[in-house]
Chain A
């Protein structure tokens, strides 16, 4: 028999992971099911953000602060490595988004629509 209070407690303790997984699924769903191209790009961004949240929260220490070491102060510091990596990840995500948006602009120029199904229809009537 599953103890629901226990499960709820553990989920609450791992709230960051839970939220990031939910966000990941939302982003993935948006990306795959919406036919609007801009919404696909937004979905991709939500997905990336979820992963970044997940990665950053793996390095969090309860009660820790940013690791700027001042002489004479004893404190718990968070793990700086995931934060530094995710900064790189954000940069990469920004450049992918910029590239995707520029492609969307080009697609709109060529087809006059942002709807993926409409584009499929135009292509099938052409060939």
Chain B
């Protein structure tokens, strides 16, 4: 599909979507939203890019391989943050007692492990959405392109 308007508009819109996605992810502990909502927004920007241009250019930005690895790393990151609690002599997934920096309520850097978990899982969700998109489109991709 070669459409100038779609390409130009998506080229302009994609960065804004990504910034908004990161905003939602990073403010997950302060406002409604968080890793899943933000990650879905972030992932949809990549899908928009790949749809507006073509799969090859989309894959150049974020390939199927990379998204699979980021996805697994995000899930592993969550488990590792939980294990930090055990390492510090507390229970699994302990937050404040395990020595994470709590900060003042309402600040961006606060709430200890929650913000780290949200960041990791946000990236995981984004890459999951992209992986799902690639997996679905590569199955039938041969017939269309």
Binding site for B on A (CB under 8 A): 66, 68, 87, 90-91, 98, 101-102, 105-106, 109
Which of B32, B34, B36, B136 is the one whose CB lies under 8 Å from A101?
B136
A68, B29: Cα distance in complex, Å: 10
B140/A109 in contact, CB under 8 A = yes
Q: How far is the CB of B126 from chain A (nearest CB, A)?
A: 13
Residues of A with C-beta under 8 A to B91: none
A105/B136 in contact, CB under 8 A = yes
A106/B132 in contact, CB under 8 A = no
Residues in B119-138 with C-beta less than 8 Å from chain A: 125, 132, 135-136
Which of B31, B32, B139 is the one whose CB lies under 8 Å from A106?
B139
Known contacts: A68-B31, A105-B140, A109-B140. The answer to whether A91 contacts B135 by CB under 8 A is no
B13-36 CB mask vs A (1 if < 8 Å, else 0) is 000000000000000001110101
Residues of B with C-beta under 8 A to A87: 34, 36
A98, B132: Cα distance in complex, Å: 7
